[in-house]
């Protein structure tokens, strides 16, 4: 099976070659030289740490290529950049007891085939050497904040859009809540509120900030 997948990847790359998002060199979504020399500009604001700005073409390109096209190499490059940034800025982040994430609605997760925030949270927890625990669930479907014009965003639909999972016995004192993109913050704050109501202190971490 692994051999078949590798063979399929070779065929797809021949038919639809990848080009580096930074230098446009053919061969990969982010070439090794650009990955080594690319330095994002982290943002630390309102207790949320972001690897960089959403308008950064490299971060935005990697996120969109992974989320909407399922390109594994984009996910891998994004994870390496995130891991490197976390290690470089570890002193900025407060001590935490666990990592969690802002979950997709099950309808969207089924359509996409994965939850990007959950996958990012797993990698972040590994770097920080703390457990990753799914604390919250979505109670209703909401529109993507990254895909909606700022003027049209109705924050009322996010009230009580998240709740603690019924199986939880308790929550730790400090949680790092992970999402892929922080735009208006409405989605993030709604998920954080469910945890804060249980007495948890929340710090945020996202790949990009819009």
Q: H-helix or E-strand containing 206?
A: strand 201-209
The pLDDT score that the predictor gives to residue 157 is 56
- CA–CA gap between residue 47 and residue 84 (Å, rounded): 20
- Please state the pTM of the whole predicted model: 0.85
The pLDDT score that the predictor gives to residue 140 is 75
The pLDDT score that the predictor gives to residue 167 is 77
Q: Which residues of the chain have pLDDT under 50?
A: 2, 5, 8-9, 11-12, 14-15, 148-153
Length of the chain: 210
**Closest residue by Cα to residue 95 from 173, 168, 194:** 173
CB proximity list for 61: less than 8 A, separation 6 or greater: 21, 29, 74
The pLDDT score that the predictor gives to residue 8 is 45
Q: H-helix or E-strand containing 28?
A: none
């Amino acid at each position: 099976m692994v051999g078949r997948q590798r063979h399929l990847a070779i065929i797809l790359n021949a038919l639809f070659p990848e080009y580096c998002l930074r230098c446009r060199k053919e061969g990969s979504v982010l070439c090794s030289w650009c990955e080594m020399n690319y330095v994002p500009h982290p943002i630390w604001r309102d207790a949320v740490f972001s690897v960089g700005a959403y308008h950064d073409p490299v971060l935005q390109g990697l996120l969109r290529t992974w989320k909407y096209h399922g390109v594994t190499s984009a996910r891998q490059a994004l994870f390496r950049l995130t891991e490197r940034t976390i290690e470089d800025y570890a002193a900025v982040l407060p001590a935490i007891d666990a990592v969690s994430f802002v979950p997709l609605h099950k309808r969207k997760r089924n359509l996409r085939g994965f939850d990007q925030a959950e996958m990012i949270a797993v990698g972040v927890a590994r770097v920080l050497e703390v457990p990753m625990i799914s604390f919250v669930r979505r109670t209703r479907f909401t529109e993507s904040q990254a895909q909606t014009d700022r003027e049209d965003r109705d924050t009322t639909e996010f009230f009580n859009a998240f709740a603690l999972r019924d199986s939880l016995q308790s929550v730790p004192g400090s949680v790092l809540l992970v999402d892929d993109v922080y735009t208006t913050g409405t989605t993030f704050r709604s998920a954080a509120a469910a945890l804060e109501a249980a007495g948890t202190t929340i710090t945020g971490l996202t790949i990009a900030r819009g």
